[in-house]
């Protein structure tokens, strides 16, 4: 996994995946200080707020960190300016094409990694000049594609000549060894970090992840709108509305702002985004402990 640590400038080939509204500076700095790559979420932030988050990370660590840009966000252009101004070392893009931003990011010396759900998009990202792809399987929490990590990673590894990082379904050192065997040179982890001490989500959300079992998550929506989270009152209502042929606008009304509701502790009508490995998560721990557990076999 050496090419990834060289690329990222980290001790470990481990990325804490962006968690929308959740991976703020305390988590990011803690992961980077522990030898991984912390990733700031820029979702819902304006340029001033993003600049402040970046400055806070820099106050807490001198290690590399990343900013996630979700490319469909209306203000993404202004956020790109901020990451360049603030000399953020690494950008991780998702939900769209970074094509128009790659030249400016390259000129600024910023490494760019793209989250991808299939081989076609992986090849497209390689042709745009990204430094590595993050192949994310549908075991993941949050927005997902259609392929599993097991199916996706080896096919992406065979198709591109840039490093491949695996995401989705990795919660401990066994998962790290498994994706290494599939040809991945690094890992990205989301769900395991949701319950880190440093995340700003309500204890009720963390508890829902801790009590979840293997069958606890469901997927709502489809295509680009598919989201994996823990089944609850929100998802029950969603599936009932689908069965009743509800209008898309009514479904939007149900889901809009639902992740923020969960973050504030509303586990009944909030979206408890989490991956299938929620069933493996047993307690709230410092991010550094989670990093150590993920990496202990790699170090050996
Ligand atoms: C609550 C939550 C929010 C997420 N938000 C984002 C996001 O804003 N941008 C992104 O690229 N990925 C996002 N992800 C995906 C993670 O960065 C990561 O790729 C994924 O969680 C890995 O799979 P795992 O959940 O099995 O560890 C999110 C995941 C979760 C659980």
> Is the minimum distance from the CB of 279 to ligand 1 under 6 angstroms?
no
Least confident window among 59-63, 124-128, 293-297: 293-297
88 and 168 share one domain:
yes
Average pLDDT value for residue range 127-148: 97
pLDDT at position 96, please? 87
Q: How many residues does the chain have?
A: 300
Say how many domains are in the chain: 2
Cβ pair 140, 190 in contact under 8 A:
yes
Same domain for 102 and 243, yes or no, is no
* pLDDT tens digit sequence for 65-107: 999 999 988 899 999 999 999 999 999 999 889 999 999 999 9
End-to-end CA distance of the chain: 13
Report the nearest atom of ligand 1 relative to the CA of 17. Answer: 17
Would you say the CB of residue 199 lies under 6 angstroms from ligand 1?
Answer: no
Answer whether 117 contacts ligand 1 (Cβ < 6 A).
no
Task: Supply the pLDDT for residue 224.
Answer: 86
| Phi, psi angles (nearest 5°) of residue 62 | -105, 15
Distance of CA 92 to the CA centre of its chain: 9
pLDDT of residue 299: 60
Residue 135 pLDDT? 98
Supply 256's token pair. Answer: 């809009």
Whether 195 and 235 map to the same domain: the answer is no
Same-domain status, 193 and 210: no
Q: Does 165 share its domain with 291?
A: yes
In this structure, the dihedral spanned by the alpha carbons of residues 201, 204, 208 and 209, taken in order and rounded to 10 degrees, is 30
Distance of alpha carbon 177 from alpha carbon 80, whole angstroms: 34
Residue 283 Cα to ligand 1 middle (Å): 19
The DSSP secondary-structure symbol of 132 reads E
Instruction: Say if residues 70 and 95 touch (Cβ distance below 8 Å).
Output: yes
- Model confidence at 300: pLDDT above 60: no
**How many angstroms does the Cα of residue 244 sit away from the middle of ligand 1?**
30
Residue 152 and residue 285 in one domain: yes
For residue 144, what are the CA distances in angstroms to 16, 115, 139, 174, 296? 17, 10, 8, 22, 28
The average pLDDT across 6-32 equals: 97
Beta carbons of 247 and 269 less than 8 angstroms apart:
no
For residues 240 and 97, membership in a common domain is answered with no
Predicted model pTM? 0.97
Within this chain, do residues 123 and 209 fall inside the same structural domain, yes or no? no
CA gap 267, 272 in Å, rounded: 7
Atom in ligand 1 nearest the alpha carbon of residue 228: 31
Is residue 292 domain-shared with residue 241, that is, in the same domain? no
Looking up residue 127, the CATH number of its domain turns out to be 3.20.20.70
CA of 23 to the centre of ligand 1 (A): 10
Domain of residue 8 covers 2-199+281-299
Output the CA 77–ligand 1 centroid distance in Å. Answer: 22
DSSP tag of 165: E
Q: Return the residue matching tokens 């089944």.
A: 231
Q: Which atom of ligand 1 is nearest to the CA of 70?
A: 9
Is-contact 68 42, C-beta < 8 A? yes
For residue 297, the model assigns a pLDDT of 82
Rounded to the nearest whole angstrom, what is the distance from the C-alpha of residue 273 to the centroid of ligand 1?
8
In angstroms, rounded to a whole number, what is the distance separating the alpha carbons of residues 12 and 235?
37
**Whether 140 and 76 share a structural domain:** yes
How many whole angstroms separate alpha carbon 33 and alpha carbon 60?
8
Whether residues 166 and 255 share a domain: the answer is no
Q: Decide if pLDDT at 26 tops 60.
A: yes
Ligand 1 pocket, 208 CB below 6 A?
no
In terms of domains, do 94 and 217 share one?
no
């Amino acid at each position: 996994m050496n090419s990834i640590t060289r690329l990222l400038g980290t001790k470990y080939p481990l990325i804490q995946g962006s968690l929308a509204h959740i991976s703020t500076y305390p988590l990011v700095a803690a992961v980077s200080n522990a030898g991984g790559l912390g990733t700031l979420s820029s979702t819902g932030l304006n340029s001033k707020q993003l600049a402040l988050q970046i400055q806070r990370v820099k106050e807490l660590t001198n290690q590399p960190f990343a900013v996630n840009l979700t490319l469909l966000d209306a203000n993404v252009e202004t956020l790109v300016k901020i990451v360049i101004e603030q000399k953020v070392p690494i950008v991780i893009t998702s939900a769209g094409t970074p094509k128009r931003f790659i030249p400016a990011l390259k000129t600024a010396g910023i490494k760019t990694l793209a989250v991808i759900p299939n081989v076609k998009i992986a090849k497209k990202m390689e042709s745009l000049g990204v430094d590595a792809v993050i192949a994310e399987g549908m075991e993941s929490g949050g927005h997902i594609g259609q392929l599993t990590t097991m199916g996706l990673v080896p096919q992406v590894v065979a198709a591109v000549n840039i490093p491949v990082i695996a995401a989705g379904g990795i919660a401990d050192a066994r998962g790290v060894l498994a994706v290494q065997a599939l040809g991945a040179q690094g890992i990205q982890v989301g769900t395991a970090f949701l319950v880190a001490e440093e995340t700003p989500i309500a204890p009720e959300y963390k508890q829902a992840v801790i009590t979840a079992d293997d069958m606890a998550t469901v997927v709502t929506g489809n295509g680009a709108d598919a989201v994996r989270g823990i089944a609850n009152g929100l998802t029950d209502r969603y599936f009932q509305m689908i069965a009743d042929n509800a209008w898309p606008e009514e479904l939007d009304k149900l889901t809009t702002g639902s992740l923020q509701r969960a973050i504030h502790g509303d586990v009944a009508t909030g979206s408890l985004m989490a991956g299938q490995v929620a069933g493996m998560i047993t307690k709230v721990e410092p991010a550094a402990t989670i990093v150590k557990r993920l990496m202990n076999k790699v170090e050996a």
